[in-house]
C-alpha cells in the first residue's frame, strides 16, 4: 500500500531535528482530504510541513485547474486579464535584463509550467530551456510554443555545468522537497556571475499578518516550505550566491482575495460566496491596483522576488 504522508526527520537548512508546531493546515483550495502541520525549526527558523505528502502522493493535490497551468494569453476571455498577464510577463523580463546588466543569453526556467514566461523571453531574443515536472504541462509548452522542455526534476535534467546565464524559479522553490539540492543544482548549472531569480510567498506581507493560518501563501500541502528573507538568504549563501536585491512586483490581487475568501468561509460561508462573486467580476481588480502597488512599493506584497548572483570562486 502506498504511503500517503511522511514525517520530516531533520531541517533541510540546518540539519536540526528540533522543531515546534506552528499551524495545523488542510487543503482549503481544492479540499483534498488530509491534515498537515507547519513546523518551525527551533535552531534556524525555517518553516516546513511535517507530516507532508510523499513524492508519490503529492500529485493528487495538483488538479488540472491548478493556476500554474494556464492557457495562452490570447485565449483569455477578458481583455483586462490579457493585459494584466502580458504586463506581468513583461515585468519579469525587464527585471531579469536589469539585474543581468541587460545582457541577453541563455535562460533556464525551473517549473516552467506551460511555457508562457519562456515564450516571452524567446520573443525578446533569449536562448530558452525549461524544466517541468508535470508531463501534461511540459507537453503543452512543447506543442504550443515549440520549446525545449525537460520533463522531470532539475536534478535529473541532463544539462552540463555552466550551461546558463540566468536561472529562474517563479513560485517554485516552496513546492520542492529539498530546496538545498535545488539551489546547489542551480549554482552548478549557472555560469560565473550568473543570475538567479527566485520568487516566494512573502512572510512579511500585509496579507500574512492579517490572515495568519488562512493566508494563501501557505497553500498546504502544495507549499512544503515557508521562507523568510533570513532563511532564504542563508540557503542562497550556502549554495554560493550573493543577494543583489529583494523586489515586490507581482500582482497581489488574486492571492489576497483567496485569503479573504478563506477568512469569510470561517465566519460566514454564505457571505463568502457573495463577496467572492463580487471580487471576481472582470475589471474589479483595477479598483484595488493603487493599494497593491503601494504595498509592493513598501516590500509588503504577497509575493517577493530575490535576485542573486553566483559568487566567483
Q: How far is CA 2 from the centre of its chain?
A: 28
Pairing outcome for strands 106-110 and 164-170:
parallel
Which class does domain 5-310 fall in? Answer: alpha beta
168 in Cβ contact with 105 (< 8 Å): no
Whole-angstrom distance, CA of residue 206 vs CA of residue 124: 34
Which of 127-131, 182-186, 278-282, 299-303 is predicted with the least confidence, judged by mean pLDDT? Answer: 278-282
CA dihedral angle for residue 10, residue 14, residue 19, residue 22, rounded to 10 degrees: -110
Report helix angle 289-297 to 253-267, nearest 10: 110
| pLDDT value of position 282 | 79
In the predicted model, is pLDDT for residue 3 greater than 70? no
What distance in Å separates the CA atoms of residue 279 and residue 105, rounded to the nearest whole number? 40
Select from 208, 248, 201, 246 the least CA-distant residue to 226. Answer: 201
> CB neighbours of 67 closer than 8 A, spacing ≥ 6?
none
Which pLDDT score, from 0 to 100, does residue 1 have?
A: 44
pTM for the model stands at 0.92
Q: What is the pLDDT of residues 145-175, one digit of tens each?
A: 999 999 999 999 999 999 999 999 999 999 9
Amino acid at each position: 500500500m502506498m504511503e500517503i504522508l511522511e514525517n520530516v526527520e531533520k531541517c533541510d537548512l540546518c540539519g536540526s531535528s528540533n522543531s515546534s508546531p506552528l499551524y495545523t493546515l488542510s487543503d482549503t483550495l481544492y479540499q483534498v482530504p488530509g491534515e498537515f502541520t507547519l513546523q518551525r525549526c527551533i535552531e534556524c527558523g525555517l518553516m516546513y510541513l511535517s507530516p507532508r505528502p510523499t513524492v508519490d502522493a503529492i500529485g493528487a493535490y495538483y488538479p488540472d485547474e491548478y493556476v500554474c497551468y494556464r492557457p495562452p494569453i490570447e485565449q483569455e476571455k477578458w481583455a483586462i486579464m490579457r493585459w494584466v498577464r502580458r504586463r506581468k510577463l513583461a515585468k519579469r523580463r525587464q527585471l531579469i535584463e536589469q539585474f543581468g546588466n541587460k545582457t541577453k543569453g541563455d535562460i533556464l526556467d525551473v517549473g516552467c509550467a506551460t511555457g508562457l514566461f519562456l515564450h516571452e523571453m524567446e520573443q525578446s531574443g533569449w536562448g530558452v530551456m525549461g524544466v517541468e515536472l508535470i508531463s501534461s504541462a511540459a507537453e503543452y509548452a512543447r506543442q504550443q510554443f515549440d520549446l525545449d522542455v525537460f520533463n522531470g526534476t532539475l536534478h535529473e535534467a541532463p544539462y552540463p555545468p555552466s550551461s546558463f546565464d540566468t536561472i529562474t524559479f517563479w513560485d517554485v522553490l516552496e513546492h520542492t522537497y529539498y530546496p538545498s539540492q535545488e539551489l546547489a543544482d542551480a549554482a552548478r548549472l549557472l555560469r560565473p556571475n550568473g543570475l538567479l531569480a527566485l520568487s516566494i510567498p512573502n512572510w512579511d506581507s500585509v496579507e500574512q499578518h492579517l490572515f495568519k493560518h488562512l493566508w494563501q501563501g501557505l497553500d498546504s500541502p502544495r507549499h512544503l516550505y515557508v521562507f523568510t528573507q533570513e532563511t532564504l538568504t542563508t540557503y542562497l549563501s550556502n549554495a554560493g550566491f550573493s543577494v543583489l536585491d529583494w523586489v515586490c512586483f507581482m500582482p497581489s490581487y488574486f492571492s489576497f482575495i483567496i485569503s479573504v475568501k478563506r477568512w469569510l468561509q470561517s465566519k460566514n460561508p454564505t457571505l463568502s460566496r457573495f463577496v467572492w462573486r463580487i471580487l471576481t467580476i472582470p475589471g474589479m481588480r483595477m479598483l484595488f491596483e493603487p493599494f497593491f502597488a503601494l504595498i509592493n512599493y513598501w516590500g509588503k506584497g504577497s509575493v517577493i522576488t530575490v535576485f542573486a548572483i553566483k559568487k566567483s570562486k
